[in-house]
Amino acid sequence: MLSSDFSLFQLIGNSGIMVNSILLLLLSFSVMSWTIIFIKYRYIRRAFKESALFTEYFWKSRDLSEAFMKAKQLHSSPLAQVFRIGYVELKKVSQSVAPGKAAAPGQETLAMGAHVAGIDNVNRALRRATNTEITRITQMVPFLATTGNTAPFIGLFGTVWGIMTSFHGIAQRGSATLAVVAPGISEALIATAAGLAAAIPSVIAFNYFMQKIKIIETELQSFSADFLNIIERDILITKGIKP
């Protein structure tokens, strides 16, 4: 058994400069990872909550302008932000089409072309907005994967270095008893433990966040398709632009 004066801080204090530098690096990785975990957890939870509120309000609202006003209040909702971009583009398309005018003879093809172009413009705006929201949500999350992939190897490097130093000291003293070997090995293994302590929470959080982001991305794509269907059925067609 180890003596009663064994402590983790004592082992760290007795470690060499290289091992302590690696432990400091792993501590930095861990602090940044936990900061990202805390920030992203709050942001994604708020995004789900506000998106649910906006979805409920959107399908209950009688006018898209009402949904637009509501979307301006929900800054953390990806769905609301995508809708705002699509609605603004829709207004531009609507203003370019003179309402209430029937297509003159020979201008039906032109009206049909305006209809298709308007839908394409809104569709492109929705795709750009979706990509922007996914990029914003995913920011800093890849660092968790980097920590999960590299921290164990950094810790292993510190362990290997510490063991090499321990064996070098054993060779100089000419003694290889357990009492001589155990302290050095214990100090070296701290780096591996620190690497795992930084990596495990990061990997778990990364997988959790990517699952949530995938759900948000799917909801954005579904909402964009529904929004385009509403435009084609209830708005542009009623403007007199019929296929």
pLDDT digits (tens), the chain, 243 positions: 444 445 655 556 566 677 788 889 999 999 999 999 999 999 999 999 999 999 999 888 878 888 899 898 988 899 999 999 998 888 887 776 544 444 444 444 444 445 656 778 888 899 999 999 999 999 999 999 999 999 999 988 888 877 777 666 666 666 665 555 666 677 778 888 889 999 999 999 999 999 999 999 999 999 999 988 888 776 555 554 444
Does residue 64 lie in a domain region? yes
Asked whether 151 and 33 are in contact (CB, 8 A), the reply is no
Q: Please report, as a single letter, which amino acid is at residue 35.
A: T
Does residue 143 lie in a domain region? yes
Nearest CA to 9 out of 20, 17, 1 is that of 20
Give the pLDDT of residue 62. Answer: 78
Does residue 3 lie in a domain region? no
Nearest CA to 130 out of 53, 47, 224, 226 is that of 224
Does residue 2 lie in a domain region? no
Does residue 12 lie in a domain region? yes
Structure-block tokens of residue 83: 């809708």
Q: How far apart are CA 139 and CA 151, in angstroms?
A: 20
Does residue 82 lie in a domain region? yes
- Buried b / exposed e along 158-181 (16+ C-beta atoms within 10 A): bbebbbebbeeeeeeeeeeeeeeb
Give the pLDDT of residue 190. Answer: 83
Q: How far apart are CA 205 and CA 107, in angstroms?
A: 57
Around Cβ 126, how many Cβ atoms within 10 Å? Answer: 23
Does residue 38 lie in a domain region? yes
Domain, as residue range, for 155:
8-239
Give the pLDDT of residue 66. Answer: 86
Q: What residues contact residue 9 under an 8 Å CB cut-off, 6+ apart?
A: none
The shares of helix, strand and coil residues in the chain, as percent rounded to the nearest 5, are: 85, 0, 15
Does residue 1 lie in a domain region? no
Number of folded domains that form the chain: 1
Cα 49 → chain centroid = 16
Please report, for residues 24, 45, 147, the alpha-carbon distance to residue 143 in angstroms, rounded to integers and kept in the order given: 18, 20, 6
Q: How far apart are CA 238 and CA 243, in angstroms?
A: 11
